[in-house]
Structure 1
Amino acid sequence: MAHERMNTQTKESFKQKEKYMKKQLITLLVVLFAVTSLAFAGGAAESKTTEVPANIVWVTPDRIGNPNAPITLTYAVDLTYSHQTETASRKEYLTRRMEEWAKAHPDVKLIPQILSNNPSERLAKQLEQAATGTIADAVQIDGQFVPLFYRWLQPIDKFYSKEDQADWFDWCLTEAMIDPADGKLKAVWLLTNTVGLWYDKTVVPNPPKSWDEFIKVGKELQQKGYQYGFLTWGGKNEQISYGSVFPMFFGLGGDLVDEKDHPVYGQGANRDKLVEVFKFWERAVKEGVTPRRILDINNNGDLVAEAKAKSTAMFLGGSWLMSVLKDNLGSEMDKWDFANTPQYRADVKMQIPGGYTMGYFTKDPKKLELIVDFMDYVYAGKDGMAGWCSTAGYTPVRESVFAEYDVFKNDRFQQAFGAALETARLRPNSSNYNIISEHVQEGWQNVILGAQTPEQAVDTAYQKTLNQIR
């Protein structure tokens, strides 16, 4: 029995030694693997850092950041939003902010892409790239068309608290930031603009709010010696739709398309509302408050020239005209102000906002975090938005930027733009929008010329639209 116990103990001892030796062997192999790996990577004492060239140029036309960076991000923007722009003030701001961000992120480089300056071509290409997965990590998208991209845009809620999101104007959130299908934040609005009423407050102390007031005040100005009661852009261009027709049509509650993207502006109540808008313009021309020659106003400079010549004290024009007016009017600019587009009733407010958003398409979590941070620093964060909008002459879309930054808080024009845009509605993100707009412009011009009645103009425009999309 003792011999058996000893034999058993010997066997157990051998097994323990064998187990210990195996453990030691495994440990040795792990250490050897680790040492070999470290040696191959440059040694444990060396920290793995990205090499930064001694004479690095952090921002070049086709690259932002360290050329040796292991992480590459891509983004696409309009030339005027790019550091490649020829506008000196924009180039200086963008280059400075981009360089600051790049120096803080030496492991990242960004490759910029420039979008087509043709809106229709741009949209078509962006949709194709999004569908095929060849689109840049971040892309500047016209706010009007963001919903067309929701299926491909990546959620970015984790980068913006609920408080941050609430800082944007309500219409930004509902129209082109939050996807109604899943409630996720899919884009951030960068800036905006709108067409409203520019007026000389020394002769128009209370800007007209209704169509009747618009015509009444216009006649009073003519009695005071002004050649025109009011003016607007009349040459065939999106400015007709954006500034002279659709704000009033939307104020009446009109719809251009239905939920299936089918044009309905020439049917039923929508037809009646567009006819009413055309009737207002017909009346303005017939009563001599605005001239038929507005059809020759083809650019912003024409409107500014009329204001400078004091041929009018009211005109419908873009908020972006502020800097041009200041340059041309000089000290006379102190007399001018900006208000909402007059509507069919004085208690109705409606503006159409323009502007761009930034949408994010990369599915790589790290790249998404980095590109969102970059865009916030340059364009969309509070400091970024304040810096970019003040430099480029745009209107910010975050409440805090208006409230906290002197450049906006103390600028009565920017305050007026912000107040006007509190009630706004985007043009529809319809694939047929450009066709609709083109034919509505033609109809409006025919009414101004007296070539068609408002009813005829609407019916003709609508039929042309239907014929073209079939």
Structure 2
Amino acid sequence: MRSIPFSVTIASCFLFVATGCSNASDSETLTWITGSDSSPDAPDEEMSSYVRANVSDIEEEYGFPMQHSIHTTNIDEAMARLLEQAVRGQAPDFALVDGYALERFEDQLQPLNELMDEYGMDLDDFLPFAQDVMVGDDGNVYGLYLSTDVRYVFYDTRFVPEPPETWDDAMDISHELVDQGYEGLVLPLGVGEGTSVTSLLPLFWGQGGELIDEEGRPAFYNSENREYMLNVFNSIYEGVESGAITKRMASNGTENDGNAEISTGLVKMLYPGTWQINTFQEILGDDFEHWDVASLPTLEGGEPTSTVGGWAFGIFTEDPEKQRAAFDFLQRTYVGEEGMARFTTRDGSMPVRASVYDSPEFEAIPFIDEFQEILEKEGRPRPAEQVYNTISVQLQIAISQVVSGSKTPEEALDDAWEIVTFGMEDVE
């Protein structure tokens, strides 16, 4: 497949919610799996009411009772379990898939070209990166992307008049903040996917690094890639050793950890995700007007880069009537022009269809123009290969060890490579 939170907690089919969980063999029930924040049981009442209303309409119009289940909070585990179910023919009729991993499900998903034509859904209206994910190597559409996000630097202009363009700039600013009694740069450097996609990969990719080679094998330790990754590790290590970054960041593995950090009033510069901006506005109150956003800093000579995220729905059922009912539900709720506008407004995420940004139904999050520019000019998805998950976890462990002081950058990177490639042949 041409190769990419919203903030969502994701689920295995047997962890059922509400009415339980049926598998795809149940011809009388339309089964689906989603994230808690996008479900009929979403903690946000406006979101849950919105989804429930569309569920009721589909049930009435198509005659299929709908049963949903919720993905587990461990995203990698949830995707692995869903793939296992799909291979066995036991997947739900349709499911939410982490966007970058959609390619793994291509053999089990149903092509959606005819349904897109039937409902007047223009593939070219989707942003280019989303099209790359949605379209398989055979030219068929296998997924419906519904929202996305990027990472950025968020800073208080009263203390940081100009945003850092380079990592060295960020460290200089951090030292000044620490000298004034505030925290230095806050960013995830513990065990969690936020560490990879926010703190490590943008710096690595910005230098031209590649995690995985064209054959799908780990490559972050090969020739110049090792140099690029070691540059990242050394830069973070030096930031910690100099006091610009606190060792406490070794316990922060997600961008959302920044919510508690910023609420202390001691944080003036941090790396969050776009889905957090509404939360920041609530936390900061009137002070929010003094904050601004900018691209993530780069290592010297690097290009600004931000990891893009997001989610897509895929349809597994081979039943034509269920396919139509599922597609209709998805276009009404999440991926049609009006559906995406309403969903992303409630979710606080970024639409992936160009027309939605001009929709009267869409209420943009703060700084949407800046976020769009970062997405279009700097956005890059994670690799779709399954080995990525192993690489990511080991890099998270490695940098947390560096930050905590238990290993040097070289030791941590060497150990990560050894674990990732254990048992592999023909890996340099």
Aligned residues: 401
1:90 aligns to what? 47
Q: Residues 259-289 of structure 1: CA distance to partner in whole angstroms, max 9, x if unpaired? A: 3332221121211111111122123223332
Question: CA offset at residue 432 of structure 1?
Answer: 2.4
Secondary structure of 1:312 counterpart: coil
Is residue 357 of structure 2 the alignment partner of residue 402 of structure 1? yes
Q: 2:167 aligns with which of 208, 211, 223?
A: 211
The alignment yields a C-alpha RMSD, in angstroms, of 2.8
- Tell me the distance in 2 between the aligned counterparts of 1:320 and 1:120: 20
Question: CA offset at residue 148 of structure 1?
Answer: 0.6
Secondary structure of 2:69 counterpart: strand
Gaps of 5+ in 1: 1-59, 64-69
Q: Which has the higher contact order (CA 8 A, sep 6+)?
A: 2
Question: Identity across aligned pairs (percent)?
Answer: 28
Question: CA offset at residue 354 of structure 1?
Answer: 2.0
CA contact (8 A) 1:249 1:274 kept: yes
With over 3 angstroms needed to count, the CA separation of the structure-2 counterparts of 1:144 and 1:469, relative to structure 1, is: farther
Is residue 290 of structure 2 the alignment partner of residue 332 of structure 1? no
Q: Residues 88-144 of structure 1: CA distance to partner in whole angstroms, max 9, x if unpaired? A: 2321221123334444x1534333233333323322222222222222221111112
1:139 aligns to what? 95
Aligned letter for 1:188? L
Secondary structure of 2:173 counterpart: helix
Displaced runs of 4+ in structure 1, greater than 6 A? Answer: none
2:147 aligns to what? 191
Q: 1:455 aligns with which of 395, 401, 410?
A: 410
- Tell me the distance in 1 between the aligned counterparts of 2:253 and 2:359: 37
Moved more, 156-165 or 274-283: 156-165
Q: 1:438 aligns with which of 393, 403, 406?
A: 393
Secondary structure of 1:232 counterpart: coil
With over 3 angstroms needed to count, the CA separation of the structure-2 counterparts of 1:138 and 1:443, relative to structure 1, is: same
Task: Map 1:47-446; keep pairs closer than 5 Å.
Answer: 61-62=18-19, 72-103=29-60, 105-160=61-116, 164-174=122-132, 176-179=133-136, 181-222=137-178, 225-297=180-252, 303-345=258-300, 348-405=303-360, 407-409=362-364, 411-422=365-376, 423-446=378-401
- Tell me the distance in 2 between the aligned counterparts of 1:348 and 1:163: 35
CA contact (8 A) 1:93 1:391 kept: no
Q: Counting helix residues as a fraction of each chain, which structure ranks higher?
A: 1
CA contact (8 A) 1:139 1:358 kept: yes
Q: Residues 4-51 of structure 1: CA distance to partner in whole angstroms, max 9, x if unpaired? A: xxxxxxxxxxxxxxxxxxxxxxxxxxxxxxxxxxxxxxxxxxxxxxxx
- Tell me the distance in 2 between the aligned counterparts of 1:163 and 1:120: 30
With over 3 angstroms needed to count, the CA separation of the structure-2 counterparts of 1:201 and 1:446, relative to structure 1, is: same
- Tell me the distance in 2 between the aligned counterparts of 1:459 and 1:95: 50
Aligned letter for 1:154? Q
CA contact (8 A) 1:209 1:346 kept: no
Aligned letter for 1:91? S
With over 3 angstroms needed to count, the CA separation of the structure-2 counterparts of 1:204 and 1:401, relative to structure 1, is: farther
- Give the TM-score normalised by structure 2: 0.84
Aligned letter for 2:410? E
Secondary structure of 2:357 counterpart: helix
- Tell me the distance in 2 between the aligned counterparts of 1:211 and 1:349: 11
CA contact (8 A) 1:247 1:351 kept: yes
Question: CA offset at residue 310 of structure 1?
Answer: 3.3
Secondary structure of 1:459 counterpart: helix
Secondary structure of 1:239 counterpart: helix
- Tell me the distance in 2 between the aligned counterparts of 1:375 and 1:356: 13
With over 3 angstroms needed to count, the CA separation of the structure-2 counterparts of 1:158 and 1:73, relative to structure 1, is: same
Question: CA offset at residue 420 of structure 1?
Answer: 2.0
Aligned letter for 1:192? T
Compare CA radii of gyration and give the structure with the larger one: 1
- Tell me the distance in 2 between the aligned counterparts of 1:153 and 1:305: 39
Question: CA offset at residue 316 of structure 1?
Answer: 1.0
Secondary structure of 1:355 counterpart: strand
CA contact (8 A) 2:113 2:141 kept: yes
Moved more, 321-330 or 342-351: 342-351
Aligned letter for 1:397? V
- Give the TM-score normalised by structure 1: 0.77
Question: CA offset at residue 298 of structure 1?
Answer: 5.6
CA contact (8 A) 1:209 1:345 kept: no
CA contact (8 A) 1:439 1:461 kept: yes
Question: CA offset at residue 219 of structure 1?
Answer: 3.5
Secondary structure of 1:192 counterpart: strand
With over 3 angstroms needed to count, the CA separation of the structure-2 counterparts of 1:159 and 1:428, relative to structure 1, is: same
Aligned letter for 1:165? L
Aligned letter for 2:54? R
Moved more, 426-435 or 106-115: 106-115
Aligned letter for 1:122? A
- Tell me the distance in 1 between the aligned counterparts of 2:423 and 2:380: 26
- Tell me the distance in 2 between the aligned counterparts of 1:257 and 1:301: 27
Aligned letter for 2:32? Y
- Tell me the distance in 1 between the aligned counterparts of 2:208 and 2:71: 34
Moved more, 137-146 or 75-84: 75-84
